[in-house]
Structure 1
Amino acid sequence: MQRGRLRAALDVTDPEPLPADHPLWRLEGVLIAPHVGGATGAMRPRIAHLVRRQIDHLRAGEDPENVVLGG
């Protein structure tokens, strides 16, 4: 990125949100978008379906889907 050979569009960063003084803000060729890439009309039914599956997993004594542990 710093050599100008790569370009990037970022929807997720670490940390999030990026502090105002973070070096990514100053890099040429970097587009930083708010983390709302999935905010469409199709999202609500998907979210409802996922929540229903998660509840079903928990009621069955199973682990929920998409669990991220650690950091």
Structure 2
Amino acid sequence: MQARVVPASSFFIYARLCTKYAQLRVKYAQLSSIYAQLKAKYAQLHKSTEKPQKKAGPQNGPAAN
């Protein structure tokens, strides 16, 4: 059985791919954070533009007694 010799250039290519993968993971995390912020702002905006709903029950509360 012979050991397979891998050229040194393969290790450099692998290292570059690992580096690129790490950079993409960081970019994904940044974009996820931006998306979460935009989603929260949209929810807040949507909440502030909703029409208030009338509460069910008597029109006169306990203070009217």
TM tier relative to shorter chain: 0.3 to 0.5
Q: Which has the larger radius of gyration?
A: 2
TM-score by structure 2 length?
A: 0.34
- Kindly indicate which of the two structures has a greater share of residues assigned to helix: 2
Structure with greater contact order relative to length (CA < 8 Å, sep ≥ 6):
1
- Kindly indicate which of the two structures has a greater share of residues assigned to strand: 1
